Chain A
Amino acid sequence: MTEPSGDVLLEISDLSLEFRTYRGPIKALNGVSLNVRAGEIVGIVGESGCGKSVTMMAATRLLPKGSAHITGGGIRLFGNDPMTLSERELQHVRGRLVSTIFQEPMNALNPTRRIGEQIVEVIRRHQRLDKAAATSKASGLLRDMLISEPERIMQAYPFELSGGMRQRVLIAMAFSCEPKLIIADEPTTALDVTVQALILGLIKHKAMSTGTAVVFISHDMAVVSQLCDRLYVLYAGRVAEAGTTESVLAAPAHPYTRALIRCLPGLAPPKQPLEQIPGTLPDLLDPPAGCLFRARCREANDRCVSVPPLAAMEPARRAACWRRIEETQAA
């Protein structure tokens, strides 16, 4: 992976974050580094609790102020540290430069207002357009989402629409202010596969035609493989592996990525036991020292008691694993 060039939209370096709870601090992120450049689609994959949503919510400062505390590292979003921005500046960044598509579209829409009003409100808040211009823009955006009767949909309330239709409305909204970066947090997890295929196609097509960068958060490796140029695999609040999608999936370097791909039922012969990852996620109240995957890793050795750096493997790949680092040095 090359050094981030000038068009880096988001750069997170060695970010550590904890949630203070009555049981003690939960160390949700333990040194996450990633970057997103203009126009690319970046996937963040991992199991629940690995920090994929928290990382992106920290980047847009959407985490609750009282409980979430950044304990190390930094975030640069369009060259600014979101933690130092004023509320007003933050509003500008969130609407104009970054927007987020959440998993559950019903929760992201106001149930008491018509779809059209909600889209027009977003457009007019960030762009100098009169109501008629904003309305026609909204209808064009919905049409881009393959909604054939946008006028009818704009008159509807959220409860009148299906989940897939609501998600299309939210994607239209996310693109409405022509942001440079869209964060899609499991946007298709609540949907059926046929609708999911459509939504993924819409996101990819719209992002490519407008040159918008997308961070796509998902637990589904197959979805990510179809959509993303590059991906980051997270484990227990740390990047285990990063690289281009093809290279990571074709030859995963980190033992966790390997196991994650191999335990999928689609790849094993029917009825044969699936490869399983023994044990469970480490307790983030008291994470073990060294490599966080060590206790579940079949390749672990003495070196793994210290934290492995995210080291370059081949031109397009980095992995945080002492074994791979040894092999690279030997080669």
Chain B
Amino acid sequence: MTQPPLLSVEDLEVRYRVTSGWFGGADVHAVNGVSFSVAEGETVGIVGESGCGKTTLGQAILGLTDISAGAIKLRGTERDRARRSQLQIIFQDPQSSLDPRLPVWRLITEPLHIRGGYTRKQLIGRATELAVSVGLRPEHVDRYPHEFSGGQRQRIAIARALAVEPALLVLDEPTSALDVSVQAQIVNLLLSLQAERKLSYVLISHDVSLVRHVADRVAVMYLGQIVEEGPTLDVLDAPRHPYTKTLLDAVPSFDRPLTSIAPRAGELPSNRTLPTGCFFRERCPSATTGCELPQVLAPADGLRAVRCHLVTRATDTAVPRTAPRPVFSSPNDAIA
């Protein structure tokens, strides 16, 4: 029997109850049936626009938000409280994820402090070790978060996550709050830590070039579903799902003039009441008959899976990329 993957997420659904209105609340369908797995030492990237459920997915993996249906398994068995420390998270904004009143050594060893059974001296020693491993200086452990720059604070957050020797880190937009020159430092740190410690990463980001650089596999999310998944370069260099194409066309690039971008005007549908059929149908340039039926994530070419009947039905014949339309060809295209 093959080894079960380090982390597997199976048919995960997350719904939030929002209490508003006179007639009771409505449900926000944040994650709608997501399955994927992460192998030991692997990085899986999750990309998508804001509101697509990528952050909720990351929090559900950690147990920071309750799941409505589905399962999250660690090495084949249900993730229980005792083994949650195998999973740690790095948040986007190190300004708000570090308690301003605690010295750095306390921040870094907070997980150990909660676990208990360590002397102050042991904790300071361990904090110093971890601080050095993320590129801080030993004397930094006596300082407070406000004395550090954004990049250094993110290093502190990384050291804290490493304190309990996790197997997997969820990186939720780890460099979005940082300047590009500092972003490179943090990316390099994450890559070298992964190599040293055989860490697995779930990298949640809207930055396609960052995901392309770091991830082995990538999943593209739209309205709480994975619409396309596969090896990073396959998906990002030759996208098959119409949404992936739309998303990638919109990414600003040095070698493409603005006028060749054809964004589909319109916005993410509401996740209060989910659309019927294909979730992307309303905005899809190649919508046709069959799209009114719910779509399944089915294997396409190679190791890739796509949630689009147009792609998976004609698996071997590549769907031609839709020709870019000029943005201003017809003002009536806009959906208010």
Point out residues on A near B: beta carbons under 8 Å. Answer: 47-48, 143-144, 146-149, 152-153, 162, 164-165, 192-198, 200-201, 204-205, 219-223, 225-227, 249, 259-260, 263-266, 268, 270-271, 273-277, 280
Contact = CB atoms under 8 A, between A and B. Distances in A.
Interface string B164-199: 000000000000000111111101100110000000
A48 B183 CA distance: 13
B209, B332, B333 interface centre (most CB from chain A within 10 Å): B209
Nearest to B331: A146
Contacts of B264: 194
B326 to A, nearest CB: 9
7 contacts: A194-B264, A222-B251, A260-B180, A265-B183, A271-B191, A274-B188, A280-B149
Interface of B: 49-50, 149, 151, 179-185, 187-188, 191-192, 206-210, 212-214, 232-233, 246-247, 249-254, 256-259, 261, 263-265, 267, 327-328, 331-336
A243 to B, nearest CB: 15
A222 B247 contact: no
Q: Please classify the interface of chain A as helix (H, G, I), strand (E, B), loop, or mixed, using the class held by over half of its residues.
A: helix
Nearest to B149: A280
Nearest to B215: A270
A201 B252 CA distance: 12
Contacts, number: 133
Contacts of B50: 192
A309 to B, nearest CB: 24
B265 A198 contact: yes
A205 B208 CA distance: 26
A263 B151 CA distance: 15
B179, B181, B212, B247 interface centre (most CB from chain A within 10 Å): B181
A270 B232 contact: yes
B180 A263 contact: yes
Nearest to A274: B184
B252 A196 contact: yes
Nearest to A46: B179
Contacts of A264: 180, 184, 209
A265 B210 contact: yes
Contact of A146 (B181, B249, B252, B333): B333
Contacts of B212: 265-266, 270
A197 B326 CA distance: 12
A186 to B, nearest CB: 13
B336 A276 contact: no
Contact of B181 (A164, A197, A263): A263
Given A192-B49, A274-B187, A275-B184, A149 B336 contact: yes
A271 B252 CA distance: 21
Contact of A147 (B151, B210, B334): B334
A265 B213 contact: yes
A314 B74 CA distance: 60
A201 B214 CA distance: 30
A8 to B, nearest CB: 26
B209 A204 contact: no
Given A48-B179, A273-B191, A195 B267 contact: yes
